[in-house]
A = this chain, B = another copy of it.
Amino acid sequence: MARKPKGPLIGQLDLGRQVPQRAKERSGRRGGGRAARVAQRQEKGAPQAVRPGLTGGAFQPLSDPDIARIHEAALDLLDTIGIGDPTDELNEIVLAKGCHLNEHGRLCFPRALIEDVIAGACREYVIYARGSRSPDYDIRAGGRRVHFCTAGSAVTTFQYESKTYRPATLIDIYDFVRLIDQLDNIHLVGQPVIATDVKDLFAHDISVLYAQIAGTEKPLSMSFADRSHIKPGIEFFDLVLGGEGRFLAKPFVVFGGCPIVSPLRFGEENLGVLIETSKLGLVNDIAVAPQAGATAPAPLAGTLVQLAAETLACLAVVNLVKPGCPMTFAMWPLVSDLRTGAFSGGSGEEAVLAAAAVQIGKYYDLPNSVGASMSDSKIPDAQAGYEKGVTTALAAHAGCNRVCEAAGMLGSLMGCAFEELVIDNDMLGMVLRTVRGIEVTDDTLSLEAIKQVALDPGHYLGHPQTLALMESEYLYPDVGDRTPPGAWEQKGSKDMLERAHEKVVEVLSSHYPNYIDAAADAEIRKRFPIKLPLKAMAAESGRW
C-alpha cells in the first residue's frame, strides 16, 4: 500500500497485524497440535462451543404492561366474538365445560376458563432423539431453551445449476433429511418440502415419515393431512422402535397442523387432528399463522392480539379434551407485503412480530415455537443471509423453544434449497453462540492473566488460557470463509453458495443412511405403501 499510517486508525483494526512477529511464529509452530484439537473437537463429550437447548431470553421487545394489554384484549375477543365454525364434535366436548355459542354461532370462551386453562396447561414436553443422537438431541421444550428446526412443506426444490425451481419429490425429502443429518446446528427435522410425486394422501404421509426416519435419528416433526393417518402412523413408529406402545412411551415425532383459519375461525380437518391427538395424549404440534394486513390487522399489535386469542383457543380445546395434554403454544405471526397482499417472511416487521410472539408464549410459561428464517429471496444470497440471520437471532434471543423454518427455506416458503441448508447451519451456529452468551466467573474475568500478560509478553497468543479455550469458547464455521482476500481470490473467488454446493455434493454422494433396521424396514414395506425405493437410498442410484 502506498500509505503507511503512523498509528492505528479507526477502522483499520486488523490487530492481527499488531501482534509481535515472534508470537506469530510461535503460533505457527503450534501446527502440530491441530490434528489433536480437531480430534478433541470431534470426540463425544468434549467441550463444545454450542449445543442444542441453550437458554435464550435476553431479547424482550415488549414491555410487561404491553404484554398485559395484549393478553387482556385477547381475552376480550375470546369472551365476546370467540372462534367461528366450531364442529359438532368440538361443541359436544366443550359446551358442557363452560364455553358457549354466541348469536353468530361462534364458540366463546369465558375469561375465567381461559385463565384456568393457562394455569393448568402442560409446561414442558420432550421429543426424543434415537440411537447415537440420544440423549444430546432430545428436545425438552420448555423454559427458554432454544432449538432450531426445519419445516416448511414447500412445493418446489431449488436447482443449483439452472437457478430455477422444480416440483419437489419424495426422493428430495430423503436427500434433504440425510443432508440435515450431517448438519449439527439443526436439532429437529420437520418436512422441508411435500412430495408432489406422491398423489395418494396416505401414501404421501407414510412415505414422508419413512424418508425422515430413514434419513436421521434426530427428533422429527410432520403434519398429517387427515386424522385417519394418525393411528397407522403410530403403528409405524412402534415398528421402528421394535415394540407396541414404545412410541407413546418415548415419542420421537410430533405432529399437528393449523387448526385455525384466520381471522378467528376453526379449520375443520386440523381441528379434527387436534382433538384426535389430544385424546391420545400426544404433543399437539400446531401452528397458528395469521398474516398481518390480510388475515390479521395491519398494526403489529393488533396481529398479536388476534393471534394470542386464536392460540389460546387451541390451548383451551386441547385442555378441555384432555387436561394437561401437551401443546406447542405456536403463535406464528406472518406479514403481508401490502403492495401485493402476498406473504413476506423476511421483513423487519416479521422479525420483531415473531420475537414478540415468542415473548407472549413465555409470559404464559408454555412450550412454544415460531417461524423464522423465512426469507423472501429466491436464491441463497446476501438478502437470504440477512433476512434469515436477523429473524432467527431475534426469535432465538426471545427464548423460543423451537425456531421452525430455521433452515433451507427460500421464496417466502415456496421452495427449499440443499445449499441453503448448509449455509443456514453455519448461520444457526453463529446465532447459537450468541445465545450462549458470556459466562462471567472468577476464571473468565481473567484478572490474573491480564495483569501478567500486560507486563510481558504483551499478547495472549500461546497463553495456556487461550490454548485451553480454543474449542470450547469459540465456534468455527463449516463453509463460512475467513481467509484473507488474496488467498480467497487465488482459490477462485468462490461465494458461500458455491462452497455450500460443494459440501452438498460431498455429503449427498456419500452419506446414504437408513436408520431403520433391516427387519423393521422389510416389515414396514410389507404393511405400508412406502413409495421410496430402497435402491434410491444408495450411492449406486448415482444421482449425486
Contact = CB atoms under 8 A, between A and B. Distances in A.
Interface in A146-195: 151-156, 163-165, 167, 190-191, 194-195
A505 to B, nearest CB: 17
Contact of A474 (B347, B414, B445): B347
A392 B23 CA distance: 32
Given A153-B11, A450-B297, A341 B16 contact: yes
A107 to B, nearest CB: 12
Given A423-B383, A431-B348, A474-B347, A223 B10 contact: yes
A385 B381 contact: yes
B8 A257 contact: yes
B11 A434 contact: no
A29 interface: no
Interface in A1-54: 1-3, 5-16, 18-19, 23-24, 27, 34, 50
Contacts of A465: 297-299
Interface in A275-307: 285-287, 289-291, 293-302, 304-306
A282 to B, nearest CB: 15
Nearest to A222: B10
A451 interface: yes
A76 B447 CA distance: 9
B385 A384 contact: yes
Interface stretch (A110-118, A132-140, A483-491): A483-491
A219 interface: no
Given A342-B16, A344-B482, A482-B344, A305 B427 contact: no
A65 to B, nearest CB: 8
Q: Which residue among A2, A337, A458, A482 has the maximum number of chain B CB atoms within 10 Å of its CB?
A: A482
B77 A447 contact: yes
Contacts of A58: 59-61
Interface string A319-351: 000000000000010111111111110111101
Interface stretch (A92-100, A436-444, A507-515, A533-541): A436-444
A402 to B, nearest CB: 12
Interface range for A: 35 or more
A473 B298 contact: yes
B385 A383 contact: yes
Nearest to A384: B382
A453 interface: yes
Contact of A385 (B3, B270, B389, B473): B389
A218 interface: no
Contact of A299 (B165, B289, B302, B444): B444
A264 B454 contact: yes
Contacts of A454: 81, 84, 263-265
Given A295-B18, A299-B473, A394-B393, A432 B348 contact: yes
Given A302-B449, A338-B469, A393-B394, 6 more contacts: A3-B194, A7-B258, A11-B413, A352-B434, A390-B430, A415-B485
Please provide the 5 A-B residue pairs with the shortest distance between their CB atoms, ordered closest to farther.
A385-B385, A348-B433, A302-B446, A386-B389, A389-B389
29 contacts: A1-B155, A2-B167, A3-B199, A7-B268, A10-B404, A11-B191, A12-B154, A14-B414, A77-B451, A156-B485, A163-B493, A263-B458, A298-B463, A299-B446, A302-B444, A306-B446, A337-B474, A338-B469, A348-B433, A349-B433, A351-B393, A377-B481, A382-B497, A383-B385, A385-B388, A386-B430, A390-B427, A393-B393, A411-B484
